């Protein structure tokens, strides 16, 4: 994991194992481990950046930004945007009106913050009059 935000991570100095379950761990044991990691993430000031990083780099394993690997997979599968998605502009505009930052929108939609900003500006730009 790289990035200046990492300096402020609540998990800094913690054992890496706290965020990665051992192989072949399922059911209640896995949930208990993931819940413990999520509790640390819940109080982390860089949670949004961490979650965005894990989604955009398609990090496969571990808990990042309070999201388990399964939750990230679901978010990516459910919301990976397509340029041809007719509802993408509406979804971004609605989240923006509700006060979400580009970063937060990106985390939810599996997009980078820059991609959200570009999409938003492109669609909100004044029409050219010729």
Determine, following the binding rule CB under 6 A, whether residue 9 of this chain makes contact with ligand SF4: yes
CB 56 within 8 A of CB 112: yes
Six-digit token string for 55: 């989604």
Q: Which is nearer to ligand SF4, 9 or 95 (CB)?
A: 9
Six-digit token string for 41: 């993430």
CB 41 within 8 A of CB 47: yes
Determine, following the binding rule CB under 6 A, whether residue 41 of this chain makes contact with ligand SF4: yes
CB 12 within 8 A of CB 6: yes
State which of residues 33, 34, 46, 55 lies at the interface with ligand SF4 (CB under 6 A). 46
CA atoms 14, 19, 30, 41: torsion sign: positive
State which of residues 21, 33, 34, 50 lies at the interface with ligand SF4 (CB under 6 A). 50
**Minimum distance from residue 77 beta carbon to ligand SF4 (Å):** 21
Crossing angle of the two packed helices 102-109 and 69-79, in degrees rounded to 10: 90
Q: Which is nearer to ligand SF4, 42 or 94 (CB)?
A: 42
Q: Which is nearer to ligand SF4, 72 or 119 (CB)?
A: 72
Q: Which is nearer to ligand SF4, 12 or 118 (CB)?
A: 12
Q: Under rule CB under 6 A, which residues in 56-95 are in contact with ligand SF4?
A: 64-66
């Amino acid at each position: 994991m790289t990035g200046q935000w990492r300096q402020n991570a609540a998990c800094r100095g913690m054992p890496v194992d706290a965020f990665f379950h051992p192989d072949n761990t399922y059911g209640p044991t896995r949930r208990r481990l993931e819940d413990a990691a999520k509790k640390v993430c819940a109080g982390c000031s860089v949670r949004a950046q961490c979650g965005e990083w894990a989604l955009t780099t398609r990090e496969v394993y571990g808990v990042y930004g309070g999201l388990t690997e399964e939750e990230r997979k679901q978010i990516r599968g459910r919301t990976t945007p397509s340029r041809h998605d007719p509802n993408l502009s509406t979804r971004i505009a609605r989240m923006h009106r509700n006060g979400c930052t580009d970063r937060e929108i990106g985390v939810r939609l599996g997009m980078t913050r820059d991609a959200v900003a570009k999409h938003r500006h492109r669609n909100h730009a004044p029409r050219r009059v010729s």
